[in-house]
Amino acid sequence: MLLYKNSSIVSHQFCNTLRKMENLCLVFLLIVSIVFPVLGQGGLKTGFYSSSCPNAESIVKSTVQAEFDKDPTIAAGLLRLHFHDCFVRGCDGSVLISGSSAERNAVTNTGLRGFEVIDDAKSKLEASCLGVVSCADILALAARDAVDLVGGPSWGVPTGRRDGRNSSSSEAMNLPSPFDTVEVQRSKFAAKGLDDHDLVTLVGAHTIGQTDCRFVSYRLYNFTKTGNADPSIDQQFLTQLKTMCPKDGDGSKKVDLDKDSQLNFDVSFFKNIRNGNGILESDQRLFGDSSTKDVVDKYAGSIRGLLGLRFNYNFKQAMIKMSSIEVKTGTDGEIRKVCSRFNHYY
């Protein structure tokens, strides 16, 4: 009995020590992020437009805010738009080009939204600073502002990207898919210089947003063509999902990717995965791989942030890393006059 009591005291003291360590780490990280501006990769830097277009970031922010006030779900749309841009040809605004054979019309980009927000911001920026701010940078800034508006972290966005001169729907066919295994996801992220930690952290963007029943129904009624449900789905949640997505029902009906807080940027998404309440198969599979499961557990656990593993902090670091993929800077690419068209059309 005495041994048990002493063990409880030691455990309590140990937990208190961990919490103090976590708080000290977070304070240190906050100080570092304030004192030392975040530098991006590939020639990007924070405050790139401080002289050439001082109001650039505030113009983008106010544009996103105005749309968010009308439709809060646009936050997830803008975040997804930036993600899909960066995974094809790098973060160069290629997803914004219109046209039947352009990237945005690929099957994998079905449902992308937020184009009008980017166009609106670009129009205002052109009126203020003609030919200065790239569409690729507007996308990166809008994604940051969208996350901030739903209660997520904010960060200094390294800017200086230039817009690409190519956009092909065929090149978008290898985007990460809701049907991907962990191995396939890992391969696609690794090809962009992103590791398992980045993978889980960036997929955490699914704490906001929705998907269609068509991407869920097969898990409910005919998983692996067995006529049964995906066994990884919690049984109680399975009943709820079947109510939301009836068999042979409307495949375009929307389902929240985070069943508990679809409009709040938080860690409930990871708790859902841990508890078998993931919506997409690709998300739920992250809990079945030892490497990705470890990251999910630490984000979902009660002592988050141990050894620096804290979702909000890690998410902004992962976003900075992702938004630096294969960027065009200097004299490479162009600064588009209109985000949906290449300059040679003028």
Asked if residue 85 lies in contact with residue 139, where contact means CB atoms within 8 angstroms, the answer is yes
For residue 246, say whether it is annotated as part of any ligand binding site.
no
85 is in an annotated binding site: yes
For residue 103, say whether it is annotated as part of any ligand binding site. Answer: yes
On whether 94 is known to bind a ligand per the annotation, the reply is yes
3-state SS of 125-142 is HHHHCCCCCCHHHHHHHH
Q: Say if residue 266 carries a ligand binding annotation.
A: yes
Structure-block tokens of residue 140: 């990166």
Using DSSP, state whether 66 is helix, strand or coil.
helix
d(CA 173, CA 75): 24
- Least Cα distance to 153 among 305, 15, 329, 20 occurs for 305
Q: Say whether 206 counts as a known binding-site residue.
A: yes
Residues near 68 by beta carbon (within 8 Å), at least 6 away in sequence: 74, 75, 146, 149
| 217 marked as binding residue | no
Query: 207: annotated binding-site residue?
Result: yes
The answer to whether 151 touches 123, Cβ cutoff 8 Å, is no
Q: Which residues are tagged catalytic?
A: 84
CB-CB neighbours of 6 under 10 Å: 10
Angle at alpha carbon of residue 244, lines to 252 and 289, rounded to 5°: 90
The residue among 201, 83, 77, 76 whose CA lies nearest residue 151 is 76
- Is 178 part of any known ligand binding site? no
Residue list, annotated binding site for heme b:
206
Residue list, annotated binding site:
85, 88, 90, 92, 94, 103, 176, 206-207, 258, 266
Residue list, annotated binding site for substrate:
176
Residue list, annotated binding site for Ca(2+):
85, 88, 90, 92, 94, 103, 207, 258, 266
